[in-house]
Amino acid sequence: MPAAFVRRRFSPTMVRLVGAVFVLQLFSNAAAIFFLRTQLVEVVQADRVRQVVDVRDDMLAAYYDGGRGELADFILSRRGSAADPTVFVALTGGAEAPVLSNLSQVPRVPVGARPVRVKVMHGADTLPTDGLALAGRLPDGETLVVGVASNSDRRFDLAFATAIGVTTAVAVVLASLSAALLGLVISHRTHEIAETAAELASGNFGARLPSAETGDGFDHLRRQINLMAERIDQLVSQLAAVSGALAHDLRSPVTRLTAAIERASALVGEPQALDALEAARADADALRAMLETALELSRLEGGAVADRRAPLDLATLAEDLVELYEPLAEQEGVTLVAQLQPAGVVADRELVSRALANLIDNAMKYGGRHLVVRTRRVDAGGEITVVDDGPGIAPDDRARAVERFVRLDNARTRPGGGLGLAMVAAVARLHGGALVLGDGDAAGPEGQRGLSATLSLPR
């Protein structure tokens, strides 16, 4: 059985729970067996006491019928109750020799009305056994000892020890089967909930848990998660609608503003005014690009983009993008290198191209003088990595860097809207992949580590 399967089905909490149930079951079974043994021993003890009393009464009846001779003959011939092989009798204390039945020596038994426990020697070569004996004084002064051997106590102990062993084995088997069944049931339900939660976290707000009217805690949790998912879906849809509408509505005035600036530039001949109008047009173009990106990002995160995924070689796509950016990189004095290995995935070519373009744009804008674009195949699919030797991003800021409209301190002096990495992260999530930021390969010209941005996509 694989270790991962065991870990998923038998968590430490599950093991402790099953262990507690097993211990309680074992103790309850042992207590029941001990109580049963006590009751049986008491019943057997009472039967033995009655048997000893009955044997004594038979002996006394023989004595009173024919005196000592009749009693001695009764004992030696083992008539009546004395014929039982577990019964032993001794007649001692008189002038004549002791009369013994099923004994090699007379046990020491005080005269009394109740039987007592004694050690009995049945033969010279045998070990003593436990017994229950009663001693009484006859009218002629002799002592009559009658008793019953109790070898069955050991058989009782052996039988109950066997019962405890069998019970323990059965308890272990039942506990193991219960643990396996309980683990499978709980694991199935919890992993079903976890997978739905993962779908919600990835942006699939339409994910729901199947309804099951079992009436247990899992059913209650399932209903509450579905209600939560519906509420999140409503809120995200409303937010996406508002942000998308806002970006869409702002495009028209920005476009008109750009057109107005161009007309003004055509009418104005003063150099300083032209410079001011050119700067205004550049800002308007940047604002329009930001709105376009924000609108596209809203469509991506809202699931409004059609599914156009198809088999795609990341190396071929990256080669096309590198060729497209080589003239711009040469103009900016940046070295752009491609290190490509075939990596087949199933993805939307247009969206992945835009994501890679954003990574290259960011690296050229904020990175150093040396850029490397890599592709490689991994077990889960393929990866595209853009590495630069610029100032990089501190580890504490990398989670914030992929959020919308977040611009770090070292990027505030450069044009941009803080949406480039957010767009890449949205494309990764849409494909079930991830965007991972890390350190570059080597130190840059000023000692900085650089940045490594990896877009991983499933196969």
What integer pLDDT is reported at residue 130 of this predicted model? 82
pLDDT at 156 over 70: no
Q: State mean pLDDT over 315-334.
A: 89
**CATH class as words, domain 217-302:** mainly alpha
Top mean-pLDDT range of 16-20, 98-102, 179-183 = 98-102
Q: State mean pLDDT over 371-398.
A: 87
Q: Kindly state the tokens that stand for 258.
A: 């750009």
What is the average pLDDT value for the chain, to the nearest integer? 77
* Phi, psi torsion values for 97, nearest 5 degrees: -65, 150
- Burial class from Cβ neighbours inside 10 Å (0-12, 13-18, 19+) for residue 205 reads buried
* Phi, psi torsion values for 429, nearest 5 degrees: -65, -40
Q: pLDDT tens digit string along 39-54?
A: 777 887 888 888 888 8
The DSSP string of 207-236 is --PPP----SHHHHHHHHHHHHHHHHHHHH
Q: Kindly state the tokens that stand for 295.
A: 């609108």
- Find the helix or strand (DSSP H, E) in which 21 lies: helix 12-77
What integer pLDDT is reported at residue 442 of this predicted model? 59
What integer pLDDT is reported at residue 252 of this predicted model? 63
What integer pLDDT is reported at residue 412 of this predicted model? 37
Other beta carbons within 10 Å of 83: 10
Q: Which amino acid is at 246?
A: L
User: What one-character DSSP code corresponds to residue 111?
Assistant: B
Q: pLDDT tens digit string along 243-260?
A: 556 555 566 666 777 777
What integer pLDDT is reported at residue 251 of this predicted model? 60
Q: pLDDT tens digit string along 214-223?
A: 666 777 777 8
pLDDT at 375 over 90: yes
Q: How far apart are CA 134 and CA 19, in angstroms?
A: 50
Q: How far apart are CA 178 and CA 335, in angstroms?
A: 64
Residue 376 region, left (φ>0) first, then alpha (ψ -120 to 50), else beta? beta
Question: Closest Cα to residue 332, out of 360, 357, 306?
Answer: 360
pLDDT band at 78; cut points 50, 70, 90: confident
What integer pLDDT is reported at residue 384 of this predicted model? 92
Residue 440 region, left (φ>0) first, then alpha (ψ -120 to 50), else beta? beta
Listed range (110-114, 162-166, 188-192, 405-409) with the worst mean pLDDT: 405-409
Q: State mean pLDDT over 145-152.
A: 80
What integer pLDDT is reported at residue 153 of this predicted model? 60
What integer pLDDT is reported at residue 238 of this predicted model? 64
- 410 vs 242 pLDDT, higher one: 242
pLDDT at 363 over 80: yes
pLDDT at 181 over 70: yes
Listed range (164-178, 322-336, 361-375) with the worst mean pLDDT: 164-178
pLDDT band at 128; cut points 50, 70, 90: confident
Q: State mean pLDDT over 30-36.
A: 76
Q: pLDDT tens digit string along 255-300?
A: 777 777 777 777 776 777 777 767 777 766 666 666 566 656 555 5
Q: How far apart are CA 100 and CA 102, in angstroms?
A: 7
Q: How far apart are CA 109 and CA 88, in angstroms?
A: 13
Other beta carbons within 10 Å of 369: 15
Q: How far apart are CA 80 and CA 101, in angstroms?
A: 13
What integer pLDDT is reported at residue 5 of this predicted model? 47
Listed range (49-63, 123-137, 313-327) with the worst mean pLDDT: 123-137
Burial letters for 235-273: b for 16+ Cβ neighbours within 10 Å, e otherwise? ebeeebeebbeebeebeeebeebbeebeeebeeeeeeee
Q: State mean pLDDT over 364-380.
A: 86
What integer pLDDT is reported at residue 459 of this predicted model? 75
Q: State mean pLDDT over 46-70.
A: 87
pLDDT at 74 over 80: yes
Q: State mean pLDDT over 184-194.
A: 76
Statement: 310-458 belongs to CATH 3.30.565.10: yes
The DSSP string of 163-179 is HHHHHHHHHHHHHHHHH
C-beta separation of 171 from 29 below 8 A:
yes
The DSSP string of 341-377 is ---EEEE-HHHHHHHHHHHHHHHHHHS-SEEEEEEEE
- Burial class from Cβ neighbours inside 10 Å (0-12, 13-18, 19+) for residue 153 reads middle
Q: Which long-range contacts (CB under 8 A, 24 or more apart) does 279-285 make?
A: 282/415, 284/254, 284/257, 284/258, 285/258
Q: Kindly state the tokens that stand for 21.
A: 């149930």
DSSP three-state, residue 445: coil
Listed range (229-243, 325-339, 361-375, 404-418) with the worst mean pLDDT: 404-418
Q: Kindly state the tokens that stand for 430.
A: 């849409």
C-beta separation of 386 from 392 below 8 A:
no
